[in-house]
Amino acid sequence: MSIALFTDFDGTLIPPEMVRRDPTLPPELDLALRELSHKIPLAVVTTKECAFVEPRVPYAKAYACINGIEVRAIGYVAVADGLASVELERLLASAKRLDALVEAKRTRDGRLAGITVDWRDSSKPPEGLEEVLAEAERRGLKTLRYARHPFADIYGADKNKGDAVRLLKALLGVDYVVYMGDSENDLPAWAEADVRIIVRHSLNKDLLVEGAVPIAYEELPRYIRQVLSNMAC
């Protein structure tokens, strides 16, 4: 039976408070994942752009980016059908007027596929956010709000991380998937996984995921080392 590790990026491989300041993997975790990638396929399933995560995890076999809208694996590249880039571009101007960091997420060919409104440096959501999200929904765009995380996402296609896990599992030809994540947008991926790992940090202490193994972020390198040790037995 073949096995693969699929992992979220933001909040799982990088602590949520560090993603904007220093979005690089800690050396110990990076080395452990590199070594693991020589044993089993590793895939990143993320809301970030592929252009953002590929240089940071270059040893992954596959990437599902922008919440599964763009998938890249072993020569296969696909972008979701019906991507509403024009509607997103029209919404982007409204989003940029908010008092928050607005991240425009584009596919490799330059099409706008997602927008994140991020207020991690503030104590509350920016004024006008609900109006922007309501406008997005009127335009037929997918919106995601989070109970515990200080950001909101808007996407130009109705994809999720569960779709990405199913596709990557088929592309990589694996039977058994371990999925690591940290937030509500990982729920569809956990539902598709055989083993669920929730990486605990300051923003998700109360998030419950049925059947998931909790691992503190600080313990993640040691856990991966233990996996490697078990595989060597």
Average per-residue pLDDT for the chain:
93
User: Does the structure show a pLDDT above 90 at 43?
Assistant: yes
Residue 233: the pLDDT is 59
What pLDDT is recorded for position 56? Answer: 96
pLDDT for position 23: 82
More confident call, 19 vs 225: 225
- What pTM value is reported for the model? 0.94
Contact yes or no for 115/95 (Cβ under 8 A): yes
The pLDDT value given to residue 123? 81
Q: Domains, the chain, ranges and CATH?
A: 3-80+160-232 (3.40.50.1000), 85-155 (no CATH)
Mean pLDDT for 165-183 is 96
In this prediction, residue 74 carries a pLDDT of 87
Q: Is pLDDT at 172 greater than 90 in this prediction?
A: yes
